């Protein structure tokens, strides 16, 4: 009888393996990447700059970039982008053109196929003034 009690005690004190609950991995907002919605402008797929405008007028023209140095507007009736450079500092045109490419999510080649007008204040220094009224990298278009 003592033998049965000892065997029972050994069997009942056998360590049990308990599985740890599995916790599903969490995804932080920084890890989630959502592809921006695309729209078609003149046959070019661009990021949807129309869905979150800074300002829209009654003709449907959309201001979608507004910095202290430049503004970018889309004129719906003319299917044209206007990059208005508001300062005459060196490098602002490059910044504005880079900002345009980034906001639309397009390449330089695609940008050259769009109707883009670049406007800048007149300055007597030819280095600072906008000579071409289109994107600077579209000289062969």
Q: Do 96 and 130 contact (CB within 8 A), yes or no?
A: no
Tens digits of residue pLDDT in 3-27: 444 444 445 555 555 656 666 556 5
- Model confidence pTM above 0.75: no
Hey, which bits of 4-132 come out as E strands?
Answer: 38-41, 44-47, 55-56, 62-66, 70-75, 80-85, 116-119
Confidence of residue 91 (pLDDT cuts 50, 70, 90): confident
Output the pLDDT for position 86: 87
Confidence of residue 133 (pLDDT cuts 50, 70, 90): confident
Query: Percent of the chain, pLDDT > 70?
Result: 65
- Return the domain boundaries, the chain: 47-141
Q: Which two tokens stand for residue 25?
A: 């991995």
Other CB atoms closer than 10 Å to residue 72's CB: what's the count? 23
Output the pLDDT for position 128: 52
Mean pLDDT within 109-115: 95
- Where does the chain have alpha helices with state H? 2-12, 92-104, 108-112
């Amino acid at each position: 009888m003592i033998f049965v009690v000892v065997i029972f005690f050994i069997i009942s004190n056998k360590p049990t393996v308990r599985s740890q609950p599995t916790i599903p991995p969490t995804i932080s907002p920084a890890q989630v990447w959502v592809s921006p919605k695309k729209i078609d402008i003149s046959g070019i797929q661009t990021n949807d700059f129309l869905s979150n405008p800074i300002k829209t007028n009654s003709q449907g023209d959309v201001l979608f970039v507004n910095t202290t140095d430049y503004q970018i507007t889309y004129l719906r009736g003319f299917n044209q982008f206007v990059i208005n450079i508001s300062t005459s500092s060196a490098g602002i045109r490059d910044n504005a053109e880079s900002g345009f490419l980034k906001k639309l999510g397009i390449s330089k080649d695609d940008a050259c196929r769009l109707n883009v007008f670049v406007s800048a204040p007149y300055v007597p220094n030819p280095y600072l003034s906008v000579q071409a009224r289109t994107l600077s990298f579209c000289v062969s278009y």
